[in-house]
């Protein structure tokens, strides 16, 4: 889960990034990657116009992994014109069903 520090001057931009990532859907589950808890972090480098997304997948063997990563990059660059996006795929901490938000669980009927 992503946490925001309201004393960070970029916190509102980070919230905007997270909101835009709600448009990226897991093609198999039809739930967005935020509700699934796949996004672990957002970093912004205003000087170099870079946005970094740290995320995971539900499995290292996810057949749609490359598609999801491309969608994240395209989403960020489409919503934040002038910025380049990098997506770092991480496996620690390991994703589990506990990462899914309450809304995600409702959508999945869990």
Q: Quick one: pLDDT at residue 2?
A: 64
Q: Are 2 and 13 in contact (CB under 8 A)?
A: no
Lookup: tokens for 4? 């925001």
pLDDT (0 to 100) of residue 9: 79
Burial 52-77 (b: 16+ CB within 10 A, else e): ebebbbbeeebeeeeebbebbbebbe
Per the omega criterion (within 30 degrees of 0), is the bond before 93 cis? yes
Domain spans of the chain, in order of start: 11-94
Q: Is the pLDDT confidence value at 1 over 80? A: no
Q: What is the pTM of this model?
A: 0.89
pLDDT tens digits, 6-65: 677 788 899 999 999 999 999 989 999 999 999 999 999 999 999 999 999 999 998 999
pLDDT at 110: 84
pLDDT at 16: 95
The topology (CATH level 3) of 11-94 is: GMP Synthetase; Chain A, domain 3 (3.30.300)
């Amino acid at each position: 889960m992503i946490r925001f520090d309201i004393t960070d001057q970029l916190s509102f931009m980070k919230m905007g990034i997270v909101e835009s990532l709600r448009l990226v859907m897991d093609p198999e589950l039809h739930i967005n990657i935020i509700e699934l808890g796949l996004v672990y972090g957002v970093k912004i480098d205003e000087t170099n116009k870079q946005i970094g997304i740290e995320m995971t997948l539900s499995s290292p063997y996810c057949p749609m992994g490359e598609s999801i990563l491309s969608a994240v990059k395209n989403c960020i660059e489409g919503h934040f014109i002038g910025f380049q996006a990098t997506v770092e795929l991480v496996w620690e901490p390991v994703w589990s069903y506990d990462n899914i938000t309450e809304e995600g669980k409702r959508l999945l009927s869990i």
